[in-house]
Amino acid sequence: MVRFLPFLISLVLSVYALFSCIQTPDDEVPHLPKLVWIVIIVFVPFVGPIVWLLAQRSSRVGRERPVRPARPAPRSLAPDDDPDFLQSLDRYRDPRTTMKPPEDTPRPKDPETPVDETPTGDAPSAETDDGKS
């Protein structure tokens, strides 16, 4: 088993470097054309994949310099803090279950039933008749 270990390590390293090279865009391949790198990785067992990984890493370090934004991005509002979102919910509310706040102005009285009129004879009188007259 020990004698197969160098071959297995070389194979795994070569496959990893080969896939890495193939997936790298053409404009990001360092120093040599992509086809030359593939040939080097396949035909030079240990050295080819290691050189590819080191060249790719050094190329990536030079390109990826962090750029700080001029100012931080504005925080987005949570839905329950956003007034536009809350107003858009009004169309989904059921008017039967929604409680409305009391109005400041008093409502006008119903014009069909006058307030100061006394009850007629058909309606029971407010006085009670206990049967003792």
What confidence tens digit (pLDDT) does each residue in 52-93 have?
889 888 776 666 556 666 676 666 667 677 788 778 877 777
SS3 6: helix
Under the banding of pLDDT at 50, 70 and 90, the label for residue 3 is confident
Whole-model pTM over 0.85: no
Interior CA angle at 24 toward 21 and 27, to 5°? 120
What value, to the nearest 5°, has the Cα angle with vertex 104 and ends 99 and 108? 95
